[in-house]
Amino acid sequence: MLDCAAKYELKVIVGTPTYAIPSWLAKKYPDILAVTHNGKELYGHRQNMDITNPDYLHHAQIIIEKLMEQVKDYDCVIGFQLDNETKPYDTCSKYAQAKFVEYLKNEFPDIDEFNREFGLDYWSNRVDDWDAFPDIRGTINMSLDAEYKKFQRKLVTDFFAWQADIVKKYKRDDQFITHNFDFEWHDYSYGMQPEVNQYEAAKCMDIAGCDIYHPSQSSLSGREITACGNIARGIKGDNYLVLETEAAGNHPWQFGKKINDNLVFLNLEGKAYVEKAVDDAIDRGCDCLLCMDDAVCAQAMRRLRERHIKVPQQVKVASFYNSSVLENNVPSITSLSFDSKELGARACKNLLRQIEGEETENRTLLPYEVVLKESTQ
């Protein structure tokens, strides 16, 4: 791929591949999957890992170093992106909580001062021994909970600094380090990302980057571009890179039919986001859920079961891919089946033809099959 980029004089930013773990790693080290306020993450979607887990960090370092050895000397490689839209993923693992206790001990050398600062005598929440610090997930003290969220943001800052130190051992002086920070989500990018202190996190980087997904053209006001641009420019007080975006609005994928933008949910990276999307859709009276892929659909089905909502009697559900992820689901799930490998191959061929200056079709249609099953009957 880099040889091809060099041939066509394309400039490349290489990303460290640490934002999605393979299934064998999750099976070998189950503790890598994050423990959160909502319980333990299941394998399937991206960014479901504990970024403080020693086994995760060990294998992440191995793959970063192997990658850097392979790509650092390519002239077309102009920089490196650390991870992808990194967040703490609400990690509450034993490793994260142990780090939190050490963080508090450094902030409050006197444990009595710590108890006074957070008002922990209330309802007998007092901590008299750091070694007996209770599981943070059970706290009723909102000040302590807020301090843990602040600490989680620090975990992201530390994670970036750790990756940057590895990359710096290999990169050339003319290669930069960046990251694709994202924003708060209101069915599109808008506002500060609450899970990351981007200003602190970017100190180990040379230039800030961002991912921004705008609403469709009919809903685009200009405020979104201005607000997100100002945030991105302010991260390091300089210009920034747009590392991800979309060409024509977030979700205008309609053919003559108006889509309610408020019922399209694209930020589904994690159990909590899927649950909120399902809750919002159901609370707004939706009687059908169309999921972007089978992993999201599996999480949506779990949420519907938790809410005692019957499929298909009360809500119909359909998905894309028709993969093995849902093969044992009850009821069976209606899905759109197509050759995803062929889709990727066609996209690559079209891209190469465009690079060569050849004309390509604006739309490529592949054979597909709607596999009707119990979830939509």
For 142-197, how does the pLDDT look when each residue is reduced to its tens digit (9 = 90+)?
999 999 999 999 999 999 999 999 999 999 999 999 999 999 876 678 889 999 99
H helices present in the chain, as ranges: 2-7, 23-28, 54-71, 94-107, 111-118, 142-168, 198-201, 223-236, 271-283, 294-306, 340-355
Domain with CATH 3.20.20.80 in the chain: 2-178
Find, among 354, 79, 19, 355, the residue nearest to 241 by Cα: 79
Can you name the CATH fold of 2-178? TIM Barrel (3.20.20)
Residue 256 has pLDDT above 60, yes or no: no
Q: Quick check: 16 and 79 in contact, CB under 8 A? A: no
pLDDT in tens, 312-370: 999 999 998 888 888 888 899 999 888 878 888 888 888 888 888 888 877 777 888 88
- Of 48-62, 122-136, 276-290, where does mean pLDDT reach its minimum? 276-290
Give the fold, CATH level 3, of 268-377.
Answer: Rossmann fold (3.40.50)
Quick one: 227 exposed, middle or buried, by C-beta within 10 A (0-12, 13-18, 19+)?
Answer: middle
Choose the most confident range, by mean pLDDT, from 48-62, 240-254, 285-299: 48-62
Lowest mean pLDDT among 248-252, 274-278, 372-376: 248-252
Does 255 score more than 70 pLDDT? no
* Residue 263 or 41, more confident: 41
Asked if the model's pLDDT at residue 216 lies above 70, the reply is no
pLDDT confidence of residue 336: 87
- For residue 166, what pLDDT is reported? 98
Comparing 367 with 282, the larger pLDDT belongs to 282
Average pLDDT over residues 123-141: 94
Which residue is associated with the tokens 């997100």? Answer: 228
Give the global pTM. 0.70
Residues 6+ apart with CB under 8 A from 144: 118, 120, 136
In the chain, ranges of CATH 3.40.50.2300 domains: 268-377
Q: How large a percentage of the chain has pLDDT more than 90? A: 63
Q: Which two tokens stand for residue 178?
A: 């960046």
